[in-house]
């Protein structure tokens, strides 16, 4: 599988118990992605992706617990720590209007609404408890923009642009 056909959904951050269960920090909010999921792609040591069969998935606090076929003890689970997990993009559910996948926003050009001035491009997204925060960079400058309706005024994926109304004092 090519990385272009896949979507990063999480990272193995640890293990749970002694029976090979791994703890995954999940990057997607939709639990529907996990419905009937019986395999996933895991990052291999050489940077490629390898398929791994899923025995069980369980939601636990802010993480997702995975039991994988062939991973049956704590040492095996610990060896997977830090690995990224991917799914095929066609497993993604359709979104409502004004909802976007992170993968579609990364790289978008960000402009200030009133002045139409270029702020930078969205390089990453930080998940916080209340709302996401967009990390926008232009050369050596970085600005953190709250992903809330009063700030993000429009997103046009076809034009690769986002318009924001920055709160006073943010820049």
Residue 141, classified by CB atoms within 10 Å of its CB into exposed (0-12), middle (13-18) or buried (19+), is exposed
Write out the two tokens for 155: 């997103």
| Distance (Å, whole) CA 67 – CA 48 | 21
Q: What is the pLDDT of residue 1?
A: 41
- Same-domain check for residues 7 and 86: yes
The residue behind tokens 């926003």 is 105
Instruction: Mark whether 140 and 84 lie in a shared domain.
Output: no
What integer pLDDT is reported at residue 66 of this predicted model? 94
Q: DSSP assignment of 54-92, as one string?
A: EEEEEEETTEEEEEETT--SHHHHHTTTT-EEEEEGGGS
Backbone torsions φ then ψ of 71, nearest 5 degrees: -110, 100
Q: What is the pLDDT of residue 61?
A: 79
- Together in a domain, 39 and 79: yes
Pick the last residue of a domain from 40, 65, 90: 90
According to the model, what pLDDT value does residue 92 have?
78
Question: What pLDDT, on a 0 to 100 scale, did the predictor assign at position 2?
Answer: 46
Q: Are residues 86 and 110 in the same domain?
A: no
Looking at the structure, do residues 58 and 134 belong to the same domain, yes or no? no
- Is 40:49 a contact under the CB 8 Å cutoff? no
CATH number of the domain to which 81 belongs: 2.40.30.60
Within-domain flag for 51: yes
Answer with the one of 29, 56, 90 that is the final residue of a domain: 90
Model pLDDT, residue 37 = 87
Domain count, the chain: 2
Residues 18, 86 share a domain = yes
Predicted local confidence at residue 4, as pLDDT: 60
Is the domain of 109 the same as that of 54? no
CA–CA gap between residue 95 and residue 101 (Å, rounded):
8
Residues of the chain with pLDDT under 50: 1-2
149 touches 155 (CB < 8 A): no
**132: domain CATH number?**
2.30.30.240
Range of the domain at 86: 3-90
For residue 54, being part of any structural domain is answered with yes
Of residues 104, 81, 93, the one with CA closest to residue 10: 81
- For residues 63 and 111, membership in a common domain is answered with no
Examine residue 38 and state whether it is found in any structural domain, yes or no: yes
Dump pLDDT digits (tens) for 121-140: 999 998 887 889 999 999 99
Give domain status of residue 128, yes or no.
yes
Q: Is 170 within a domain?
A: no
């Amino acid at each position: 599988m090519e990385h272009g056909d896949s979507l990063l959904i999480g990272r193995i951050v640890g293990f749970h118990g002694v029976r090979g269960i791994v703890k995954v920090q999940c990057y997607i909010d939709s639990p529907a992605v996990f419905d009937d999921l019986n395999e996933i792609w895991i990052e291999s040591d050489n940077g490629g992706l390898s398929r791994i069969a899923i025995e069980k998935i369980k939601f636990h606090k802010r993480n997702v617990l995975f039991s994988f076929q062939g991973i049956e003890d704590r040492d095996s689970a610990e060896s997977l720590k830090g690995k990224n997990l991917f799914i095929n993009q066609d497993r993604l559910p359709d979104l409502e209007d004004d909802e976007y996948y992170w993968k579609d926003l990364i790289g978008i050009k960000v402009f200030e609404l009133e002045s139409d001035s270029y702020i930078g491009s969205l390089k990453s997204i930080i998940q916080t408890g209340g709302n996401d925060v967009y990390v926008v960079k232009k050369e050596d400058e970085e600005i953190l923009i709250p992903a809330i309706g009063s700030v993000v005024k429009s997103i046009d994926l076809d034009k690769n642009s986002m318009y924001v109304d920055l709160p006073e004092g943010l820049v």
